[in-house]
Chains A and B, each alone.
Chain A
Amino acid sequence: MHEVGIILNAIELAVEKAEAAGATSISRLCLRVGALSGVVPDALEFGFDLASKGTMADHAKLEIVQVPARCRCANGCGEFEPDSPVYSCPACGAISSIVLQGKELDLVEIDVN
């Protein structure tokens, strides 16, 4: 489980941003987590309370926006959101390796005081 390390990175980024803006506390972190990021949102939440203790983000709300995978069919059928690990086009059945989104693992914004 590498989510604790990842949430520590997110808190560090948030604290750097908050300090640079002269803030004294962080009340919300908003993360964007893609279905292909290799990160489990529940595990991030599990690690957050412990990881944020004693930092500016102590007691902050962790908001996770999940980003589904999105592909484009190479046969020109358009874009689709796969519903399984096999990215087959719902129109023609061809397997796509053109991934348009889903790898995101970003700190989007924070609320500070």
Chain B
Amino acid sequence: MESSSNARVLAVGKAILEKNDGLASRLREEFKRQGIFVLNVVSSPGSGKTELLAKTLRLLTSQIKVGVIVGDLATNHDAERLSGHGAEVLQIETDGYCHLEANMIQSAADQLGVVGLDLLIIENVGNLVCPASHDLGEDIRVTLLSVTEGEDKPLKYPTIFKSSQAVVITKTDLATAVEFDRELAITNISSVTPQAKILETSARTGAGIEAWAEFLLTAQKAKIG
């Protein structure tokens, strides 16, 4: 309609999340310089992230220094559940935000004080969609799948599973009660994300918790040397 002589096309060619991605890269470098291994834990709400981490912290903190940043839309309930296990814990209340972003990690890390840590665990907001798009500067992303959610979650939410280096099946003590088809779940996970390590845990009985803690310690040592 308007044929103003000033009308023109400007090439931009930039990643829309370049600010988040740039900050996440700087955080990754800084954590690496300080010898801190960073884990980003994602899952649906109620898959057992906090309980798994609470049980894992007991095994980890006797060997290495651990800090935890936990994100929720509201309340500090999860930080309370994670405290008392030998790790410094900081709650981020996102005030309705459905995921964590790199700038939140930057300020939370400043508040928590990460100097001297060997492992920083980030418990993301419970959500299988939005956290997939936001790099937090982590070394590995781990997605949880509880047996109560159904075996086809990896097929329904492939993006987050594909971006994960490990998948932890949780609440295995409930598997029989909910008729969880373990073989099908493992087939679905490995067909969506063939390279991911698969672990199985029950925070209630303790089954698989040592193997999961060992996986983290090995990954941390591999990075820090």
Which residues does A use to contact B, with CB under 8 Å?
A: 1-2, 5-6, 9-10, 13-14, 17-18, 21, 23, 27, 31, 36-39, 85-86, 88, 95, 97, 99, 105-113
- Tell me the smallest distance from the CB of B138 to a CB of chain A, in Å: 16
Contact residues in A for B195 (Cβ distance below 8 Å)? 97
Which residues does B use to contact A, with CB under 8 Å?
A: 2, 4, 6-20, 97-99, 129-130, 132-134, 154-155, 158-160, 162, 190-195
Determine the residue in chain B with the shortest Cβ distance to A104.
Answer: B15
Top 6 A-B residue pairs of the complex, sorted by shortest distance between their CB atoms: A85-B158, A2-B130, A38-B132, A38-B133, A86-B191, A38-B159
Cross-chain contact of A9 among B12, B16, B194 (Cβ < 8 A): B16
Q: Are A1 and B7 in contact (CB under 8 A)?
A: no
Q: Are A38 and B130 in contact (CB under 8 A)?
A: yes
Cross-chain contact of A85 among B16, B99, B133, B155 (Cβ < 8 A): B155
Cross-chain contact of B10 among A85, A105, A110 (Cβ < 8 A): A110
Given that A85-B192, A105-B15, A106-B16 are contacting pairs, would A2 and B133 also be in contact in the complex, using a CB cutoff of 8 Å? yes
Cross-chain contact of B12 among A17, A23, A36, A37 (Cβ < 8 A): A17
Contact residues in A for B154 (Cβ distance below 8 Å)? 85
DSSP majority for the B interface? mixed
Count: A-B pairs, CB below 8 Å: 96
Determine the residue in chain A with the shortest Cβ distance to B129.
Answer: A38
- Tell me the smallest distance from the CB of B58 to a CB of chain A, in Å: 33
- Tell me the smallest distance from the CB of A37 to a CB of chain B, in Å: 6
Report the Cα distance A84→B98, complex, angstroms: 26
- Tell me the smallest distance from the CB of A9 to a CB of chain B, in Å: 5
Cross-chain contact of A27 among B7, B15, B130, B134 (Cβ < 8 A): B7
Q: Are A111 and B8 in contact (CB under 8 A)?
A: yes
Contact residues in B for A10 (Cβ distance below 8 Å)? 16
Given that A6-B133, A38-B160 are contacting pairs, would A106 and B13 also be in contact in the complex, using a CB cutoff of 8 Å? yes
Report the Cα distance A13→B130, complex, angstroms: 21
Report the Cα distance A108→B12, complex, angstroms: 5
- Tell me the smallest distance from the CB of B69 to a CB of chain A, in Å: 19
Q: Are A95 and B191 in contact (CB under 8 A)?
A: yes
